[in-house]
Every structure is written in C-alpha cells, then in structure tokens.
C-alpha cells in the first residue's frame, strides 16, 4: 500500500540533505520511493517490536541518503551503465580470480604491476581476500577484522587500495572484496569496549554471565572448527562473561537482534560500495541469526536481513551486486537468491559449492551419477541471478550435498563420503591425490578436504612418477576448470591454480597458521615459477595456456552467458557428464569424461534433443566429427572434454 507519511519523511530528509530530487538526484529519489515500503516492511519484520525501532529506522533512512551523497560521480555513472544491462554479472565476458594480495603481489602498491599477467590470462574480475585490519596470528586469513575501514599495514594503505581500484576500473576490470558480517575480531573497538564492561557494546555481541544459555545453544549448534575451536562460546576473563564464537575463539559473533549493529555494519557496507566495489562478498551469511534450539544456520531472519541489505544497496549504490557465501546444503544455498516475492531480490550471486564438490566426487569415482542427481535442485536458480563456479578456493571442500543424491546413484552415503575423504587425503590405496582432512569431527566423523587443485588432481605425486602421470594430472586439472567455465556463472579461479601450484607445507612452521591446514593450498607466488608459463612445454605453460584458452572460448560465445539456458543430458554413459547450452542462434553440447578410461557415447545423444546433426565441430580441439548411426559411438579419451556445435 502507498504510505504517504513514509514518502513525506524521505522527501523531507532528501531536502534537508540538499539533494536535487527533481534534477540530478531524481533517479535516486525514485529508487528510494519505489522501494521504501519494502524497506520498511523488512526492517519491521526484524526490529519492529523494539522500543527504539522508529529511531533506528530513521537513522537508516539518513544513512542511505548520506551514502548515496558520498558516492563519487564515476561510480554513479557506472551504476547507470550497469542498470542498463540487466543482471550484468551473468555475462560470459567476466572471468575471475581470487587471491591474497600479499601472497600474490607482495603488497597493494605492487598489485597494479601484476595486472598485465592477469589480463593476459583473461581474468577481468578480482576477489581480493580480506585486506582490512586483522590481528596477526589470530586473523583467520583476514576473516577476523579489528577495523573495517583501515587497511592492514601488512598490505599497504587505503590510498593504495584506491589507486588499485582506479587502475582496475580503467582496465575494465571488476573488483570484489568481503564484508565479514557475522563476527569481528576480539580486538575490534566494540569488543574491546565490551571487555572493559561497557554494556552498550556487550549488546553488540552475544554475551552471557554463565554457561546456562551457552550450554543450551551448544546442544544444537554444529561445530565449524571442531579440532581447533570446539564449541561455540569462549570465556572472556576481562569481563567474566561467555561470548558466542562460532568460528574461532578470537572471532566474536555480532548480535543482529540489535538494530544498532545492523546500522553500523550497513554503514561499513556502504563504505566498501563507495570504494568502487562491484560485487560485495558477504562472508558466512548463513550464520547471522541465532536462535536457541536451532542449528543457528540458514534461519529465516538471516534471509530477511540479507533482503534488507539488498534493498538498501539497491537504493543507494545500485551498481554493487551481492554475493552470499553460503556453503550449506544445496536446498539451503538456493534460498540465498531469495524466495517467493523476494525471488532474485536477495543475493545476486552465490557459490555453486554443491557443483564444485560434485566435480571432485566425479573425479574420484569416475562416475557422474551423483552430480546428475543434484542438478534438478541446482536448476531452480532464479533468472537474473548467477553462480560463482569454481573448482578450488581458499577454503576446504565440504561434501555437504544430500545423502539422497548419493543414494540416487546407488551408493551408501556414509561409505561413499568415507571413500572420498580417504581418496583425497591420500590414504586410499594408490590414490593419486595429495591432500588432507580438514576439521575432522571426532563425534560425527565429518571432515572436509584441504589441498590445491593440482595436488588433488595428482600432480604432486605425478612429479615423481613419470610423464604419463603428469599428463593425466594436467588433463584432470583442465577438465575440472573446463566444467566450471562452461556451466554458467562467473568462473572464479584460485590464484596459483593457473600454473599448477602444488601444496605448500610451510604453514606448519607458523604458529598463527599451523592449526589450520587450509593454508596448504594458499601459495606464496614465486614469480620465477609463474614466468615458466611462457616457456613452451613446461607444466606451467601447459596449464596456463589451457586455462587462458578456456577463458577465451567462454568469452567468444554469448551462449555461455547465464540466461538459465542449460539442459543436462542423460549421456547414456555414467562416466560422462554432459549439458546443452543454447540460445536462439546456437546450441552447444558440452561433454566431460571423468573416467580414467575411454568412454563410448552413442551418437543418438546428439539426436534426441531436436534436429539430427550430420557433423559436429569441437570448439576446444577444433576437430570435426561425422555423426554416425545410432548403434555407433563417439569415443572420448580419458578425462577428455568437448564443446560440440552442430556444423
Ligand atoms: C568464510 C571464509 C572462511 C572463514 C569463515 C569465517 O567461510 O571463507 O575462510 O574461515 O568465513 O569468517
Ligand atoms: C563452514 C562454513 C563456511 C566456511 C567454512 C570454512 O563450512 O559454512 O561458510 O567457509 O566453514 O571452512
């Protein structure tokens, strides 16, 4: 319903802030009015019952206007351009890489010097791992932030960050950084005040005088790091209280039942938006709402808060898209795109963590049935949203897809996961992989997997075997990258994988890292090694040039834009995963053989979906294939993939 009073309030605020609502600021004003009702409803759904609700809502309205006012003209211009291309982030022209500035380039200052390397690879979108101040030794790779607005001296200065952003923008590159929404470091100013006994700031966190409530929470909350940080609460001797610490003991969970926390974190979000961030990675959104008697993950209120953030960002800084880093069960991941009236109005992007893990599943088993069983769920992703598609990132690989998906392929879920964990941690007889189990839970036997793309694909072991083993490892690496490149979504490489970095065990000598084996797959770049990418026949060259070619291929074919234009094939062979990407002009058959043996595909596969082709051309190899009769076969080599188009 139209809300006259709300409309008047916004108008009055805009006038007080000297906005020209009939002139240059008109588009902003229209966006504000058009979304004001929804904004208020979402706010009230969470905070409406609180005694100071109106005061906090009014502060929120002012914050939106101020943040818009602070937006530089270049970013406003970019907002407009992005608005003209609906869902700009679904484009096939974007290819990303996630990297640690210090481990990749040494410092922010030096980062611009490394942009040409990335551009040569075809990367035009960077996820810079956390750069804001975070205590050394207790930083969780930067995910324990002690100051959301100060760049950590380890990386450089805010000014250097701004220079990098400008250079990236001039080069047509997109930028992503994190907002670590769920928690702060216990060294954050708010936490320090809470420790000193300031009640106001104790209310920014979940703090309790005794174990009574913490014990009740612990009874139903799964542990995230059961080995290094068991339980979800930590005793704080300074104030004699227990603080909720779902992740590490030095990461204090923020209390979003407090509207002051919401407004303060929204203000940080706008600060990042106004640094020119194109996609904001919302870290661990599944955890932002807690309720006794639940797992405290994926609760409906967490979604309401994300929708509220989305509305605010859409009004003030609309060019910034939101990525929800929800690494949870497939059904739960889907909800981060929004549901019902909020479909495609929550997070614009989410990690396709299910698909990522399923590719590792298929690579170990040589069987693609579990992957196929999950697709019905994944295809529910709304139009106008997209995935981050990836094979590796800075985190572990969780085997969090549903038991029913494993059962659909005829396996026992427990035994199947046990096999995968043994295979990738290298304990399975003759496993080519070198990795490790991460966060083993002794109570449930749950575990995740650490290891670099190359090591998990067998390169680390192959180096001391023979050339054939190296060839196989490289073929697997490229197969894995190819599938995530063509599936639809923004492909996100992890730095180092483009030249085949194997595991780095030096983290074991650093007390701030040795408890966390995710560091084994977070390399320190040795530019002499990367320079080998230019040396023909080197391993680095083979992987780099193939990755480069994959990106080029993706960018050259519009059909790879994510328009929900994907249909999975039943390839008549359990070892091969296949899908069609199609638009009105083009139809591609993408096929991936996950097996160590050649696979036979009936030619009928290419005929059961429309016109029967007589000849196919593979965009990857450039080779042509005559289509045979139905009793004949296309033969795919071990770990071969193809992108066929009807010739
Ligand atoms: C996210 C990050 C992970 C971190 C966690 C806690 O999941 O990806 O690296 O440990 O959040 O902030
Ligand atoms: C859990 C969280 C995920 C985080 C990971 C860190 O799986 O769900 O958000 O990235 O832990 O290992």
Check residue 442 and give its pLDDT: 85
Q: Whose CA is nearest to atom 3 of ligand 2?
A: 327
Average pLDDT of the segment spanning 606-632: 92
pTM over 0.85: yes
Read off the pLDDT band of 82 (50, 70, 90): very high
Give the number of other Cβ atoms within 10 Å of residue 503's Cβ. 23
Check residue 609 and give its pLDDT: 83
Give 250-261 pLDDT, tens digit per residue. 999 999 999 999
Residue 214 placed within a domain: yes
Give the number of other Cβ atoms within 10 Å of residue 157's Cβ. 15
Tell me the β-bridge partners of 635.
600
Residue 146 has pLDDT above 80, yes or no: yes
CA-CA distance, 619 to 86, in Å (whole number)?
A: 28
Looking up residue 206, the CATH number of its domain turns out to be 3.90.400.10
Give 384-394 pLDDT, tens digit per residue. 999 999 999 99
Residue 370 placed within a domain: no
Quote the mean pLDDT of the chain.
97
**Nearest Cα residue to 544 out of 554, 534, 556:** 534
Q: How far is the CA of 260 from the centre of ligand 1 (A)?
A: 24
Last residue of a domain, which of 227, 253, 279? 253
Q: Is the distance from the beta carbon of residue 395 to the nearest atom of ligand 2 less than 6 Å?
A: yes
Residue 224 placed within a domain: yes
Check residue 611 and give its pLDDT: 80
Give the number of other Cβ atoms within 10 Å of residue 495's Cβ. 26
Question: Angle at the Cα of 103 (from 98 to 105), degrees rounded to 5?
Answer: 85
Average pLDDT of the segment spanning 99-117: 98
Q: How far is the CA of 97 from the centre of ligand 1 (A)?
A: 17
Picking from 121-135, 220-234, 449-463, 511-525, which range would have the lowest pLDDT averaged per residue? 220-234
Q: Is the distance from the beta carbon of residue 327 to the nearest atom of ligand 2 less than 6 Å?
A: yes
Residue 246 placed within a domain: yes
How many Cα atoms occupy the beta-carbon half-sphere of 257 within 13 Å?
12
- The distance of Cα 167 from the centroid of its chain, to the nearest Å, equals 24
Of all residues in the chain, the percent with pLDDT exceeding 70 is: 100
Tokens of 536: 């023909």
Give 530-583 pLDDT, tens digit per residue. 999 999 999 999 999 999 999 999 999 999 999 999 999 987 899 999 999 999
Q: Locate tokens 């390397």: which residue? A: 117
**Nearest Cα residue to 251 out of 275, 276, 225:** 225
Check residue 444 and give its pLDDT: 84
Question: Which are the catalytic amino acids?
Answer: 283, 325
Domain count, the chain: 2
Last residue of a domain, which of 199, 225, 253? 253
Q: Could you give the C-alpha distances from 154 to 103, 108, 137, 248, 271, in angstroms and in order?
A: 11, 9, 12, 21, 21
Check residue 570 and give its pLDDT: 84
- Answer for the pair 582, 555: CB distance below 8 angstroms, yes or no: no
Check residue 346 and give its pLDDT: 98
CA-CA distance, 581 to 593, in Å (whole number)?
A: 17
Give the number of other Cβ atoms within 10 Å of residue 88's Cβ. 18
- DSSP class of residue 588? E
Residue 300 has pLDDT above 80, yes or no: yes
Residue 340 placed within a domain: no
599, 603, 605, 608 alpha-carbon torsion, rounded to 10°: -170
Q: Is the distance from the beta carbon of residue 579 to the nearest atom of ligand 1 less than 6 Å?
A: no
CA-CA distance, 383 to 343, in Å (whole number)?
A: 9
Residue 398 placed within a domain: no
Residue 235 placed within a domain: yes
Last residue of a domain, which of 220, 238, 253? 253
Q: Which contiguous run of DSSP H or E holds residue 171? A: none
Provide the b/e sequence for 360-392 (b: ≥16 CB within 10 Å). bbbbbbbbbbbbbbbbebbeebbebbbbbbbbb
CA-CA distance, 414 to 421, in Å (whole number)?
A: 11
Residue 100 has pLDDT above 90, yes or no: yes
Read off the pLDDT band of 610 (50, 70, 90): confident
- Answer for the pair 617, 627: CB distance below 8 angstroms, yes or no: no
Check residue 600 and give its pLDDT: 96
Tokens of 414: 């427990």
- Which atom of ligand 2 is nearest to 247's Cα? 11
Q: Whose CA is nearest to atom 8 of ligand 1?
A: 395
**Nearest Cα residue to 315 out of 585, 39, 97:** 39
Residue 240 placed within a domain: yes
- Burial class, 628, CB count within 10 angstroms (exposed 0-12 / middle 13-18 / buried 19+): middle
Average pLDDT of the segment spanning 635-640: 98
Read off the pLDDT band of 608 (50, 70, 90): confident
CA-CA distance, 257 to 305, in Å (whole number)?
A: 10
Check residue 602 and give its pLDDT: 93
Looking up residue 612, the CATH number of its domain turns out to be 2.60.40.1180
Q: How far is the CA of 417 from the centre of ligand 1 (A)?
A: 23
Q: Whose CA is nearest to atom 5 of ligand 2?
A: 395
Read off the pLDDT band of 226 (50, 70, 90): confident
Q: Whose CA is nearest to atom 2 of ligand 2?
A: 327
Average pLDDT of the segment spanning 48-61: 97
- Answer for the pair 544, 121: CB distance below 8 angstroms, yes or no: yes
Give me the domain span that covers residue 616. 566-646
């Amino acid at each position: 319903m139209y809300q006259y009073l709300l409309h008047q309030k916004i108008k009055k605020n805009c006038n007080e802030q000297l906005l020209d609502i009939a002139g240059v600021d008109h588009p902003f004003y229209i966006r504000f009015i058009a979304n004001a009702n929804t904004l208020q409803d979402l706010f009230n759904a969470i905070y409406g019952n609180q005694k100071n609700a109106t005061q906090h809502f009014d502060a929120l309205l002012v914050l939106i206007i101020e943040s818009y006012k602070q937006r530089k003209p270049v970013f406003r211009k970019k907002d407009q351009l992005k608005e003209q291309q609906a869902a700009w982030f679904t484009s096939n022209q974007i290819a990303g890489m996630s990297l640690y500035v210090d481990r990749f380039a040494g410092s922010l200052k030096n980062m611009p010097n490394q942009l040409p390397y990335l551009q040569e690879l075809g990367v035009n979108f960077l996820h810079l791992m956390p750069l804001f101040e975070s205590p050394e030794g207790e930083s969780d790779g930067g995910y324990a932030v002690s100051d959301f607005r100060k760049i950590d001296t380890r990386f450089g200065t805010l000014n250097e960050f701004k220079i990098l952003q400008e250079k990236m923008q001039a080069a047509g590159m997109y930028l992503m950084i994190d907002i670590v929404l769920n928690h702060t470091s216990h060294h954050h100013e708010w936490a320090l005040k809470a420790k000193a006994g300031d009640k106001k700031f104790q209310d920014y966190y979940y703090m309790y005088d005794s174990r009574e409530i913490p014990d009740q929470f612990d009874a139903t909350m799964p542990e995230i790091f059961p080995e290094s940080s068991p339980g979800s609460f930590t005793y704080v001797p300074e104030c004699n209280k227990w603080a909720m610490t779902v992740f590490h003991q030095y990461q204090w969970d923020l209390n979003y039942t407090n509207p002051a926390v919401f407004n303060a974190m929204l203000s940080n979000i706008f600060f990042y938006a106004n640094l020119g961030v194109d996609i904001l990675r919302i870290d661990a959104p599944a955890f932002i709402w807690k309720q006794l008697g639940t797992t405290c993950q994926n609760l409906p209120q967490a979604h309401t808060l994300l929708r509220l953030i989305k509305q605010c960002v859409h009004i003030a800084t609309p060019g910034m898209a939101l990525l929800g880093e929800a690494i949870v069960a497939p059904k739960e991941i889907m909800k981060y795109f929004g549901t019902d009236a909020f479909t495609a109005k929550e997070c614009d992007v989410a990690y396709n963590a299910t698909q990522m893990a399923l590719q590792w599943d298929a690579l170990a088993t040589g069987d693609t049935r579990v992957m196929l069983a999950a697709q019905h769920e994944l295809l529910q992703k709304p139009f106008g949203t997209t995935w981050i598609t990836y094979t590796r990132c800075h985190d572990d690989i969780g085997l969090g897809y549903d038991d029913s998906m494993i059962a659909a392929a005829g396996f026992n879920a427990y035994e199947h996961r046990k096999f995968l964990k043994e295979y990738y941690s290298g304990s399975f007889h003759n496993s080519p992989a070198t990795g490790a189990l991460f966060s083993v839970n002794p109570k449930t036997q749950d575990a995740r997997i650490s290891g670099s793309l190359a090591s998990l694909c067998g390169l680390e072991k192959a180096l001391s075997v023979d050339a054939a083993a190296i060839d196989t490892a490289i073929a697997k690496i490229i197969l894995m990258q190819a599938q995530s490149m063509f599936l639809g979504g923004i492909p996100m490489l992890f730095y180092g994988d483009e030249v085949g970095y194997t595991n780095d065990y030096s983290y074991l000598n650093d007390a701030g890292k040795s408890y966390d084996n995710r560091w084994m797959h977070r390399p320190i770049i040795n530019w002499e090694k990367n320079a080998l990418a230019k040396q023909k026949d080197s391993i680095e060259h083979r992987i780099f040039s193939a990755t480069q070619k994959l990106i080029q291929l993706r960018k050259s074919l519009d059909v790879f834009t994510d328009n929900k234009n994907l249909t999975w094939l039943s390839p008549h062979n359990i070892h091969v995963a296949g899908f069609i990407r199609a638009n009105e002009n083009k139809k591609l058959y993408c096929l991936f053989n996950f097996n160590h043996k050649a696979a036979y595909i009936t030619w009928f596969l290419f005929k059961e979906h429309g016109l029967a082709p007589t000849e196919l051309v593979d965009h990857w190899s450039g080779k042509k294939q005559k289509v045979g009769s139905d009793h004949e076969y296309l033969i795919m080599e071990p770990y071969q993939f193809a992108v066929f188009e009807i010739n």
